Amino acid sequence: MSLVNKESKTVLIIQARMNSQRLPGKVLLPLANTTVLGVLLERVKAAKFIDKVVVATSTDKADDPICLECDRHNVTFFRGSEYDVLSRYFAAASLFEARFVVRICADSPLIDPCALDELCKEFKKKWPKVKYGSNRYEPSYPKGLDIEIFDFEMLRQAALFANEIYEREHVTPFIMKKLRPSQILSLKSDVNNSDIRVTIDEPDDYLLVKQVVDNLGLKKCDTEGVIRFLRENPSLMSVNCSVKQKDCYEIDARQSIQEVEA
């Protein structure tokens, strides 16, 4: 039986910064009468299983505009290390007394609040037997709809003991290295749509996401709506088909778990 109680707070932490290497300032690019980050903030606020939304940005002055955007959308922000994102997450989760931490990135404005709720609900049902849940561990959702959830204790251990640079930059690889397969909740869709890319890393990604939003409108940009629209308009998917996903740290984590299974 799950030990979750009324005091178990689920904090969604969005990592965001302006100094992206491939597309600087991407989180504040215009989208649907607001910004990429603004769209994301309004979408995640609609999730029912999230108790607190926090944007975790850095103390670098370049990230001041992110804080202003959070104020415009009445969302709390936290400032920490620019490059040690793991320590930034841990400090934010500690400050807001999280029992469960949900992680998403600010370059994924089409996150579906229904998918957020589904993952949170299933994770809480199976916790504490499971310590980590994701819809990207076994890829089937479009890239850009990625969600992770883990309990605070796993985050604390990672913050204390992770030493590799990529573990500090990407938050969850150390967590996954320490888990048995039975402790992982993998949320998969019935159909594999992982060839669809709606995250924003490069200019072509932004052009595609903007076309999706402009054509569908935000109310129809749920997971099924986005997939249907792009399947019906396959030429649009060629806009960003050459963009390479940075997946090295995820592959490394999965290999570590395979070693445990062996």
pLDDT of residue 1: 35
Q: Is residue 65 part of a domain?
A: yes
Count of C-beta atoms within a 10 Å radius of residue 5: 7
Asked if the structure places residue 5 within a domain, the reply is no
Residue 257 within any structural domain of the chain: yes
Domain CATH for 63:
3.90.550.10
In a domain? residue 1: no
pLDDT tens for the chain, 262 residues: list them: 344 444 569 999 999 999 988 899 999 999 999 999 999 999 999 999 999 999 999 999 999 999 999 999 999 999 999 999 999 999 999 999 999 999 999 999 999 999 999 999 999 999 999 999 999 999 999 999 999 999 999 999 999 999 999 999 999 999 999 999 999 999 999 999 999 999 999 999 999 999 999 999 999 999 999 999 999 999 988 877 777 766 533 444 444 433 333 2
Residue 121: domain span: 10-261
Does any domain span residue 136?
A: yes
Burial class, 186, CB count within 10 angstroms (exposed 0-12 / middle 13-18 / buried 19+):
middle
**How far apart (Å, rounded) are the C-alpha atoms in residues 245 and 92?**
27
pLDDT of residue 245: 63
Q: Is residue 2 part of a domain?
A: no
Total of domains in the chain:
1
Look at residue 56 and tell me if it is in a domain: yes
